[in-house]
Structure formats: structure tokens, C-alpha cells
């Protein structure tokens, strides 16, 4: 079987596993929006989502051994395509017409990109200085995106996508270098870059969990767009990967990227987002009480002339 076809098949299965993990993370985040990292570590459901992520990542690693970044990474957009019907199914609703339209546009765009990106299997890798430079620049950008401020969900999703894309590029370096019989398997390059992969993969997972507190559609769309963008920049600028077909191929790839981006935006707008819960709000505190524990306290209602203030209701 052709190496690129193997990479595509593995990437498809990986995308489905990533989608299942994303839906699981979003449901956990919507149930416990204020849960910290330590609380998540004690959740069995969260570890199931981590296991799904790990399985998807393993398939992704093998796919990167057979195909270039410009082929494998765009297929990651299928994670969103798979996550939308999964999320709708678990929410007990039907997939809307806008969601189906977004799915079709995403698939058409990916097809155009794959036509121009179907190059040979990778044989070039990042050197240690290049890997360190990429890691340092990405860490600085992630720090800027994840700083406290407005709309943390989308910014954390962008940071998660960048971390995952860079982890994929570094993973390709590890797999190609480790399977190259010209040097030792556990060379300084392999071990050092593998540690960077672990750091970025873990960081991307935690950032995505934070991003999903604002819902699944928008944050997952940002992850889907930022991930292949970061990997493609590295592949085209540092790994010698090229698009096929010359100028016409570049135009086709740009058109495909536009279609895929439009489809992702439609999916992100069509998928209903979970409303964030503020644990410090008095209404949230009442709703968080165990059944029966709120009966001893008077109900809270807004004053007619001061909607921002809550006072006990009179019988």
C-alpha cells in the first residue's frame, strides 16, 4: 500500500479518537467549570479522555512516519467533523443543516489540500538547535495567548492548537530519527526532542480542557485551525516540504484552506455552546447545593428596581 494512503487511513482513525476525547473533555468541563487540575486528576472520566487522546496521538505518530506534515495535519480538521455529530448524539439532538453544510465544506477543502500536499514520505528532521528555537518561540506565544483576560476559551484553544501542532512536528523528528539506522536509537537528539514532545502534548491537553469550559464548537474549531497551521509553517520552512503542482498547486491549496476554514467557522457557529457557570455567583451557589439543602433558605429573586441585587422573597 502507498505510504501516503497508510498515513491518511491512520489519520482518519486518529481524528475519530481525538473527537471522542474532545466531546468527553467538553462534557466534563461543562459539568465542573471551576475544577482545577488536581481535581481533574482524581476523575476517572477525565483519565478515560486522556486515554483516548493518547491512543489518537499514537496513531498520529505512526501516520507521521509514513506521510509529511502537510498531509497528516490537515486531516486533523476531521476531528471537528466527527465531534459535531458525536456531541449532538450525546446531547439528544439532531445535527442541523448548517452543521452538515460546514462538514461538506470542510471535507471539500481538505480534499483540495491533500491533492497538492501528497508528497513523499518525510526524510528530513529538525536539528537540536532548530527544535529548541521552535520550542522557545512557541512557549513564548503560548504564554501570551494564555494570559488572564477576556475570552479565555478561544485564546486557550489557540494556544492548545499551537502546542499540538508543534508537538506533531517534533514527533515527526523523533520518529524519523529513531527509525534511522544510521545512528543510535536513543541519541541526544531523540531523547531531547521526545521530552519537548511530552511537554507540549501535556500542555496542549490541559489548555484544551480549559478552553472547553466555554463550549465545544468555537474552541475546538480554533484548535483545529491552529494545529495544522503551526505544523505546516514548520514543515514548509524548516523540513523542506513542498506543495505539488507549482503555482496552480499553491492556488488550489489556498482555495482548499479557504473552504475548510469556512466550513470550520460554520460548524463552530452552528454547534451550541455550553453557558459558562460562575461559581462565585449567588445563583450558582444555590444551584450547586445538594437536593433538599436549599429548602431551609428563602428563595432568591431580583429586586424590581435593582436587577443586579438578590434579596429573599417574601411569602
User: Which residues does 247 contact at the CB level (< 8 Å), separation at least 6?
Assistant: none
Calculate the alpha carbon distances from 165 to 201, 234, 287, 306 in Å. 9, 9, 39, 49
CA distance 12 to 215: 24
Query: If we measure between CA atoms, which residue out of 192, 168, 209 comes closest to residue 65?
Result: 168
pLDDT at 200 over 80: yes
Convert the pLDDT of each residue in 256-277 to its tens digit.
888 888 887 787 676 554 444 4
Of 8-17, 181-190, 287-296, least confident by mean pLDDT is 287-296
Instruction: Please give the backbone phi and psi of residue 302, each rounded to the nearest 5 degrees, phi first.
Output: -75, 145
Question: What is the average per-residue pLDDT within 182-210?
Answer: 81
Torsion of CA 237, 239, 240, 243, to 10 degrees: -80
pLDDT digits (tens, 9 = 90+) for 33-68: 555 556 666 667 778 888 888 888 888 878 877 877
Matching residue, cell 493518547: 54
3-state helix, strand, coil in the chain (%, to 5): 70, 0, 25
Q: What is the pTM assigned to this prediction?
A: 0.65
CA angle 5, 50, 285 (to 5 degrees): 135
Amino acid at each position: 500500500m502507498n505510504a501516503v494512503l497508510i498515513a491518511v487511513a491512520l489519520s482518519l482513525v486518529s481524528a475519530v479518537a481525538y473527537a471522542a476525547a474532545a466531546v468527553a473533555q467538553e462534557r466534563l468541563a461543562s459539568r465542573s467549570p471551576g475544577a482545577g487540575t488536581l481535581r481533574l486528576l482524581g476523575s476517572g472520566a477525565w483519565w478515560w479522555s486522556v486515554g483516548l487522546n493518547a491512543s489518537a496521538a499514537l496513531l498520529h505518530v505512526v501516520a507521521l512516519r509514513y506521510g509529511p506534515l502537510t498531509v497528516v495535519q490537515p486531516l486533523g480538521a476531521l476531528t471537528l467533523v466527527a465531534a459535531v455529530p458525536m456531541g449532538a448524539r450525546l446531547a439528544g439532538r439532531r445535527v442541523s443543516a448548517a452543521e452538515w453544510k460546514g462538514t461538506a465544506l470542510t471535507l471539500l477543502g481538505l480534499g483540495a489540500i491533500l491533492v497538492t500536499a501528497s508528497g513523499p514520505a518525510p526524510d528530513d528532521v529538525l536539528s537540536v538547535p532548530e527544535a529548541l528555537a521552535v520550542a522557545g518561540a512557541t512557549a513564548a506565544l503560548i504564554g501570551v495567548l494564555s494570559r488572564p483576560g477576556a475570552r479565555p476559551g478561544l485564546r486557550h484553544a489557540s494556544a492548545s492548537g499551537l502546542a499540538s501542532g508543534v508537538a506533531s512536528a517534533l514527533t515527526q523528528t523523533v520518529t524519523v530519527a529513531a527509525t534511522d539506522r544510521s545512528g543510535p536509537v536513543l541519541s541526544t537528539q531523540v531523547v531531547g526532542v521526545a521530552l519537548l514532545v511530552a511537554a507540549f502534548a501535556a500542555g496542549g491537553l490541559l489548555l484544551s480542557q480549559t478552553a472547553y469550559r466555554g463550549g465545544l464548537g468555537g474552541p475546538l474549531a480554533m484548535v483545529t485551525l491552529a494545529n495544522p497551521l503551526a505544523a505546516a509553517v514548520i514543515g514548509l520552512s524548516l523540513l523542506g516540504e513542498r506543495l505539488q503542482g507549482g503555482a496552480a498547486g499553491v492556488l488550489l491549496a489556498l482555495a482548499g484552506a479557504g473552504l475548510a476554514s469556512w466550513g470550520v467557522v460554520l460548524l463552530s457557529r452552528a454547534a451550541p455552546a455550553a453557558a459558562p457557570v460562575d461559581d462565585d455567583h449567588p445563583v450558582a451557589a444555590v444551584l450547586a447545593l445538594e437536593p433538599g439543602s436549599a429548602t431551609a433558605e428563602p428563595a432568591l429573586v431580583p429586586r424590581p428596581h435593582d436587577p443586579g441585587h438578590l434579596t429573599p422573597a417574601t411569602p
